Structure 1
Amino acid sequence: MKKVDYPERGYFEINIDHIDNFIELIRPDKENLRQYLNYANKKLLFRGQENSEWELTPNLFRSIPHFIARKFDGLAFVEWTYLHSFVKACDLNGVQIPYDSMIFRNNFLNEFPNSCALAPAKWPLSEYYELLSFAQHYGISTQLLDWSYQPLVACYFAASNVVKNNNIEGDFSIWCMDIEKINLLNDFEKKNIEIIDVPKSLNQNISSQQGCFTLVRQDVTRDSKCTFCDEKKRIKEVTLVNDLVAKKEQHTMLLKINLPNKFASDVLNFCDAYSINATTIFRGVTGASQHVKDQINKNKFDDCLRSRN
């Protein structure tokens, strides 16, 4: 295993070339991560990504080209309109949403908050957190970033997407963050990052996935520009989690583990041995059907891998 420090990027990286070393490092008791993260109490978050070259970019910042939002007040308004449309669609479908009441709708859904229009750095208000997380888990783009307290959940999401897309070449990654040190990223009178743990009764997928979210507060004004970078495929001016970590010179709290894609099927087998698969991560029929799809994708991936060896 090769460790590489990237303080200017806000993390350090371990490149692993064998599945056995990966399993020893990422096992559920988290014990072997201690030698790298030097944590005190195993307060870790995990995120899996199918491409090791991807940044820690929330979907909203990846899906808004420049012609939709050129300034941050417009970007905040776009996210609010997504929520507004989502709630209207839930009403049409008879779906209960979190934090719902006439007072909430009158105060927060009838019109975009004036305070956020004047100062987009205040968006989103905490009153929107439950709705944002609910919408995010059903495919709506938000500036929240998904994490899990369970390392194998992160492994499942990364590896299952690798086999789904039949990507034999390249690496996937598991990000690990020591949240015991999260306050080192905040200022004395200002929170730059928040870990959002919402009530899980109306969103059972979050419960199954032991999930939570991070929200990085953007240091912007109403006239701050939004420039979509085609090379990075995201809005260039936003601050990501690792950007904030780099700024605060705390890169040892964020670890990125890379593993070749050819081991994705082995990772899924390891997760399944601990009962981490689509049937336990997604509730109901959705989980059952996804489990079948995962098995089909895995068989195709294994066949493709064998044909290349």
Structure 2
Amino acid sequence: MTPKHLTVGSVDHIHQIFRAYRSHGRTGWWFRGQADSSWPLLPKAGRSEFHLPGDRSIKRFNTWCKQAIAYDQNLPDNTWERLAVAQHFGLATCLLDWTVNPLVAVYFACFEHQDTEAAVYCFDPKTFVNENVLDLEELKCNGIGFIPRAISQRVINQRAVFTVHLPPTEEIKVQASPVLTDHPNLVKLSIPSTLKADLLKMTSDYGIDSVTLFPDLEGLSKHFNWETKLMSARKTAA
């Protein structure tokens, strides 16, 4: 089965689409934005520049945990939660970021690579990790869901959830949706580059921006730089 493919035609159109694909808290559709629609739907550990054969990405994560404790004495004890923390601090892991807020996905699709077609994916997960399984080296799975606790402010603000890919080079297997008849559980929304600026202004109007998604000085600086670019563009147009 292949993903359903839609092309977003306007700001109003994407609102109409999201009325059909709703998260219902965390039990319905999940969303992911990618700034380039040609990028594969893979976690960082599965991409060519980070991929290691066998289970070495898990071994790298275990080594990271042994050293990370020196930087944060409050690291979670649970393996899955440590994996989520590592992911949000940029480590190449087997986790792929999703959100239950579609506008967060739109932000990530549109914030960078302004001249490139973007994509927002909608995914309906029905299988979730067993958090009692702590030995990741023994686990084989393909796009199963992981819902973390509120372990960091970024997880909270981004309404973050994850899919798990072991091995990390395997993309999500597209299956029939358990809810919608004759409908796949993965939908790709292509966003033309010409819509990115308007969609980013829309998410900002709704309070989805770098300040709220990255509640630290990095996020504040990103937001100021974005506003400065808009101010500079208006000055040039005048």
Alignment-mate amino acid for residue 17 of structure 1: G
Task: Write the deviation string for residues 98-156 of structure 1: whole angstroms up to 9, x where unpaired.
Answer: 11xxxxxxxxxxxxxxxxxxxxxxxxxxx521111101101100010000000000011
1:199 maps to 2:136: no
Q: Quote the residue 1:21 is aligned against.
A: 13
8 Å CA contact 2:50–2:92 kept in 1: the answer is no
Alpha-carbon shift at residue 295 of structure 1 (Å): 2.2
**What is the TM-score of this pair, normalised by structure 2?**
0.78
Partners of 1:216 and 1:82 in 2: CA distance: 14
Unaligned runs of 5+ in 2: 128-139, 178-182
Secondary structure of the residue that 2:112 maps to in structure 1?
helix
Residue 147 (structure 1) aligned to one of 98, 101, 121: 98
Task: Write the deviation string for residues 8-56 of structure 1: whole angstroms up to 9, x where unpaired.
Answer: xx31100123333224323xxxx2447xxxx9x9711000001111121
Alpha-carbon shift at residue 299 of structure 1 (Å): 5.4
Q: Quote the residue 1:98 is aligned against.
A: 76
% identical equivalent positions: 25
Task: Write the deviation string for residues 154-191 of structure 1: whole angstroms up to 9, x where unpaired.
Answer: 011111123xxxx32x4111101123xx24xxxxxx96
Q: How many residues align?
A: 219
Alpha-carbon shift at residue 86 of structure 1 (Å): 5.1
Alignment-mate amino acid for residue 7 of structure 2: N
- Aligned ranges for residues 173-184 of structure 1 at < 5 Å? 173-179=119-125, 182-183=126-127
Alpha-carbon shift at residue 293 of structure 1 (Å): 2.3
Partners of 2:209 and 2:162 in 1: CA distance: 21
Residue 11 (structure 1) aligned to one of 3, 12, 16: 3
Secondary structure of the residue that 2:9 maps to in structure 1?
coil
Range that drifts further, 48-57 or 78-87:
78-87
Change (3 A) 1:282 1:217: same
Partners of 2:189 and 2:141 in 1: CA distance: 28
Partners of 2:33 and 2:47 in 1: CA distance: 17
Q: Quote the residue 2:225 is aligned against.
A: 293
Partners of 1:128 and 1:89 in 2: CA distance: 13
Q: Quote the residue 1:119 is aligned against.
A: none
Q: Quote the residue 1:44 is aligned against.
A: 29
- Aligned ranges for residues 242-253 of structure 1 at < 5 Å? 244-245=173-174, 248=175, 252-253=184-185
1:239 maps to 2:170: yes
Residue 56 (structure 2) aligned to one of 68, 73, 77: 77
Partners of 2:207 and 2:161 in 1: CA distance: 20
- Aligned ranges for residues 111-150 of structure 1 at < 5 Å? 127-150=78-101
Unaligned runs of 5+ in 1: 1-6, 100-126, 184-189, 219-234
Secondary structure of the residue that 1:271 maps to in structure 2?
helix
Alignment-mate amino acid for residue 52 of structure 1: S
Change (3 A) 1:79 1:216: closer
Q: Which structure dedicates a bigger proportion of its chain to helix?
A: 1
Q: Quote the residue 1:209 is aligned against.
A: 158
Secondary structure of the residue that 1:161 maps to in structure 2?
coil
8 Å CA contact 2:123–2:187 kept in 1: the answer is yes
Partners of 2:66 and 2:227 in 1: CA distance: 34
Task: Write the deviation string for residues 205-228 of structure 1: whole angstroms up to 9, x where unpaired.
Answer: 01110001001344xxxxxxxxxx
